[in-house]
Amino acid sequence: MRKDQQTNDRITVIQAQLGDDEAFMQLVDRYSGRLLYYIRRLLEDADRADDVLQDVWLTVYRKINTLRDASAFSVWLYRTARNRAISLLRDESRYVFVESYDKSEPLDEDNDNLSFEDIDKLHHVLTTLSPDQKEAIVLRFFEGRDYQEIARIVGCRLGTVRSRIHYAKQELRKKMEA
């Protein structure tokens, strides 16, 4: 995110915290598209994603005053969305946590140049990844989040984020080439 956009976001968040509904709607307009995409990738269901998005914005509207650091809005928003989506998945007993990985293999954190020609195939292949890997890939490559931000959003260590992205990229490459 550019510096001027970060400053603009902070100002808009502060205005929304002070009760400016127009500022809040600017935040909704600015983030809803990307946030909906993220939620859809987690849930793999457009209707449920729309419901979760609406619930997230309602929660944000009610609790925006509890946010202490306006510059943390984006991470807080995505964390709220993630928590809602995972809660829904847990209620349906569909979410499986996968934490195992081979620690002997080096991680290629800085090699983020994935190029895919067939976007439909990519979206299909994304659905075959574990929920943790899919989430990390979406946040990194579709949202442009750095590894630290991803760790804060998903609530795990930086090394775990690196491993999830590394192994997800391997799976994506293998399945895209097949």
Q: In the predicted model, is pLDDT for residue 65 greater than 90?
A: yes
- The pLDDT value recorded for residue 118 is 62
- Its pTM stands at 0.69
Q: pLDDT of 109-143, one tens digit each?
A: 444 444 445 667 777 888 888 888 888 988 998 88
Instruction: Provide the mean pLDDT of the chain.
Output: 83
The span from the first CA to the last CA of the chain, in angstroms, equals 35
- The pLDDT value recorded for residue 14 is 95
User: 10, 71 in Cβ contact below 8 A?
Assistant: yes
Q: pLDDT of 21-47, one tens digit each?
A: 999 999 999 999 999 999 998 888 888
139 HSE (CA, 13 A, CB side): 28
At the top level of CATH, which class does the domain 119-177 belong to?
A: mainly alpha
Domain boundaries, the chain: 3-91, 119-177
At the top level of CATH, which class does the domain 3-91 belong to?
A: mainly alpha
One fold for both 3-91 and 119-177?
Answer: no
Gap between the Cα atoms of 59 and 25, Å rounded = 14
Mean pLDDT of 84-109: 58
